[in-house]
Amino acid sequence: MGRRGFTLIELLVVIALIAVLIGLLLPALGSARAAGRTAACLSNQRQLSLGWAMYADANRDVIVPHRAPNLPGGAGNPANWYEVGNGMKFRPTWIARMGAYVGVYPFATPSTEDGRQDYESKVFVCPEASERADERNAAYGYNYQFLGNSREVGGRAIHYPVKRSTILRFERTVISMDSMGTAASFVPEERLPYENDGRTERAVGNEGFVIDPPRLNPSGDIATDGRRSGPEARHRGRVVSLFADGHAGVFTPEGLGFRLRGDLAYEFFGRPDGGPTNEFFSGSGLDEDPPALPG
């Protein structure tokens, strides 16, 4: 007697069951991949924290500035070139200079002429924002206002040099975190896609290499052209942040002191109903004003 095959109905039932199982498994696989990217981001920032500490050790306790100042002569002035571990670089950012101390080099061939190179090492790029390789429009922002703002006003640095010994609460002082740049100043529907080598303030990632503290000082510095830089909760609604004692964690923006306006743009200044607080940025664990402009 011959073997009986599947009927059409039985075959359709099996296909339907397989489809249901795939539908159940896909979200779990997606969550696992997202968790892996978060773990990689945490690892990136923890690795670079060693470079942050070693930079201060090698520079008489002075913390790395957000970017080397632009001295007269621009790229033609060798005083604007700095070692990044495998060569000299024109005005490198904080993260590029930190990497040199842990043997992680941002560029295969550092340039003494170009201030907008793309990072080639994955350590400098968040895996949830892998396209953000531009050293200016970067994925990780630095707590520059409190740790080392070397921009100059009237020939004077705004807040630099800063000694590491002035930090009182290392475990409560942010070094860096996931950044969306100046797009944080705009409501979500007004934000534009990332631009490599761009300067559009509404574009996600614009000037992302720095991050402004939650509460700004009206008489102090703001990321660029009056547009604040802010965090990006790109890890399933959370932000990866690195602290001065070397630990990194995953937080909500509100848990780090930030507040959103009703339109979901980031708050700039204080407000009477318990607004943004700088307790995780100031170095003291207190809600201090960012430094005012010199003079």
Read off the pLDDT of residues 25-62 as tens digits, 9 standing for 90 and up. 666 556 778 788 889 999 888 888 899 999 999 999 99
Residue 262 lies in a domain: no
> 120 lies in which domain range?
11-256
The secondary structure of residue 47, as a DSSP letter, is H
Number of domains making up the chain: 1
Residue 185 lies in a domain: yes
Q: What is the pLDDT of residue 69?
A: 83
Q: What is the pLDDT of residue 6?
A: 63
| Direct distance between the N- and C-terminal alpha carbons of the chain, in angstroms, rounded to an integer | 101
User: What is the reported pTM?
Assistant: 0.88
CA nearest to 98, candidates 136, 138, 65: 65
Mean pLDDT of 112-138: 94
Q: What is the pLDDT of residue 25?
A: 67
Mean pLDDT of 97-115: 92
The secondary structure of residue 284, as a DSSP letter, is S
Higher pLDDT, 107 or 8: 107
Mean pLDDT of 194-200: 96
Would you call 31 exposed, middle or buried from its count of C-beta atoms within 10 A (0-12, 13-18, 19+)? exposed
Amino acid in the structure at residue 250: V
Higher pLDDT, 114 or 203: 203
**Neighbouring-strand partners of residue 142:** 176, 210
pLDDT at 3 over 90: no
Read off the pLDDT of residues 213-230 as tens digits, 9 standing for 90 and up. 999 999 899 988 789 999
Please report, for residues 51, 104, 113, 159, 199, the alpha-carbon distance to residue 47 in angstroms, rounded to integers and kept in the order given. Answer: 7, 9, 28, 26, 29
Q: Over pLDDT 90: what percentage of the chain? A: 71
